């Protein structure tokens, strides 16, 4: 998975500190970093706001969902770390729940799991 951010330093802090993902490639200096999510790797790459594709690549629904065992507990933990969710977890017809949040670049990601 790859996401783009104009403010790479803020994105690196968010993914490593707020979400608690371990960096496994690149570093805080950029221009990219790779994070271990447990089941896949997430790459975050710096893109200049003046880049012609910036508006297409930054601040969008990323289609990235993190599966978690206990969505309610993770929601409480991430909220305490300052992660701003778009709404509390919502029960889904299939029996689990989903909650969406934005990273500092405005990219929308999801956490999915049992409520």
Domain ranges of the chain: 2-114
- Look at the pTM and tell me if it is higher than 0.85: yes
pLDDT of residue 60: 95
CATH superfamily placement of domain 2-114: 2,3-Dihydroxybiphenyl 1,2-Dioxygenase, domain 1 (3.10.180.10)
User: 98 burial class (0-12, 13-18, 19+ CB within 10 angstroms)?
Assistant: middle
Q: Which residues contact 30 (CB under 8 A, 6 or more apart)?
A: 8, 9, 12, 46
The three-class DSSP label of residue 40 is coil
pLDDT of residue 39: 85
Question: Could you read off the pLDDT of 62-107 as tens digits, one per residue?
Answer: 999 999 999 999 999 999 999 999 999 999 999 999 999 999 999 9
Tokens of 32: 């990219």
For 83, list phi and psi in degrees, rounded to 5: -70, 130
Question: Could you read off the pLDDT of 1-35 as tens digits, one per residue?
Answer: 999 999 999 999 999 999 999 999 999 999 999 99
Tokens of 26: 């690149």
Tokens of 72: 């309610």
């Amino acid at each position: 998975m790859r996401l783009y951010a104009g403010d790479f330093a803020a994105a690196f802090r968010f993914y490593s500190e707020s979400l608690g993902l371990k960096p496994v490639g690149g570093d805080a200096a950029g221009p990219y970093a790779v994070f271990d999510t447990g089941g896949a790797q997430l790459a975050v790459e710096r893109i200049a706001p003046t880049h012609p594709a910036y508006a297409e690549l930054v601040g969008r629904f990323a289609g990235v969902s993190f599966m978690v065992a206990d969505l309610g507990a993770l929601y409480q933990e991430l909220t305490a770390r300052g992660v701003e969710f778009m709404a509390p977890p919502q029960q889904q017809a299939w029996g689990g729940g989903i909650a969406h949040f934005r990273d500092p670049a405005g990219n929308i990601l999801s956490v999915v799991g049992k409520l």
